[in-house]
Amino acid sequence: MLISLSEIMTTKDKVIQINAPIELERFDYQGISYEFAHKEPVNLSITHLGNKVVMIEGNTNISLTLFCSRCLKEIDFPMNIEIQKEVDFNLTDEERADGLDETNFIIGYNLDVDTLIYDEILIGFPMKLLCSEDCKGLCKNCGTNLNEKSCDCDTFVYDPRMAVIQDIFNNFKEV
Ligand SMILES: [Zn+2]
Ligand SMILES: [Zn+2]
């Protein structure tokens, strides 16, 4: 959702208060698309502090459906998002970028709510997530979820005679 800020820019101390829906359908990150288990509109308050400097404050609660890093079980990951950003509209887009100011959520005189939220989710996104501290993960050989049951692979002993048979079988397939 884009919110035009040009209207409040004419008057100092003018405030916009709005409940802006999050229109992001999913959170795409590193080639994976994560679903929202829950999302609420962003409770936004945007204040013109004067001289084209705007304070953007907001909060929302969302929850993403993520996966355990070991066993891939789905986990609801709630995030409480608190936003407080000051944007100086006297600067050009390039000047803001040079100042390492993360204001890619500003397009001209518009606030892009979804980009703002995307950035905040990115900051809070966990590098690693476990369904429990002692998650046993998946068997690397057969894929069994070792939290639910054990498999026979744990006792697997490498037998060179089997490898020879495997080679013969593979050669046979190639003919
Ligand atoms: Zn797990
Ligand atoms: Zn196994």
- The predicted-structure confidence for 89-139, as pLDDT tens digits, reads as follows 988 777 777 765 667 899 889 999 999 999 999 999 999 999 999 999 999
Residue 13 lies in a domain: yes
Q: How far away, in angstroms, is 121 Cα from ligand 2 center?
A: 36
In which domain, by residue range, is 37 found? 2-124
Residue 7 lies in a domain: yes
Higher pLDDT, 175 or 51: 51
* Token duo for residue 73: 């079980």
Which pLDDT tens digit goes with each residue over 60-73? 999 999 999 999 99
How much is the pTM? 0.80
CA–CA dist 111, 121 (Å, integer): 17
Same domain, 109 and 169: no
Report percent pLDDT > 90 for the chain.
Answer: 70
Q: Is the pLDDT of residue 169 over 70?
A: no
pLDDT at 165: 57
pLDDT at 36: 98
Q: How far away, in angstroms, is 139 Cα from ligand 2 center?
A: 5
pLDDT at 175: 46
DSSP 8-state code for residue 114: H
Residue type, 163: A
Residue 19 lies in a domain: yes
Report percent pLDDT > 70 for the chain.
Answer: 84
Give the start-end residues of each E strand in 68-161: 74-88, 106-107, 110-112
Nearest bound ligand to the CA of residue 129: 1
CA–CA dist 36, 49 (Å, integer): 34
Residue 9: beta bridge partners?
A: none
Q: Is the pLDDT of residue 86 over 50?
A: yes
CA–CA dist 153, 156 (Å, integer): 5
* Token duo for residue 77: 């990951």
Give the count of domains, the chain: 2
Nearest bound ligand to the CA of residue 148: 1
Q: How far away, in angstroms, is 49 Cα from ligand 1 center?
A: 48
Which pLDDT tens digit goes with each residue over 10-30? 999 999 999 999 999 999 999
pLDDT at 162: 60
Q: How far away, in angstroms, is 38 Cα from ligand 1 center?
A: 21
Residue 131 lies in a domain: no
- Residue 157 banded pLDDT, cuts 50, 70, 90: low
Q: How far away, in angstroms, is 147 Cα from ligand 2 center?
A: 12
Give the chain's radius of gyration (CA, Å).
Answer: 26
Q: How far away, in angstroms, is 72 Cα from ligand 1 center?
A: 6
pLDDT at 94: 76
Same domain, 32 and 112: yes
Q: What is the mean pLDDT of residues 45-51?
A: 96
Nearest bound ligand to the CA of residue 149: 2
CA–CA dist 138, 24 (Å, integer): 32
Say how far residue 78 (Cα) sits from the centre of its chain: 11
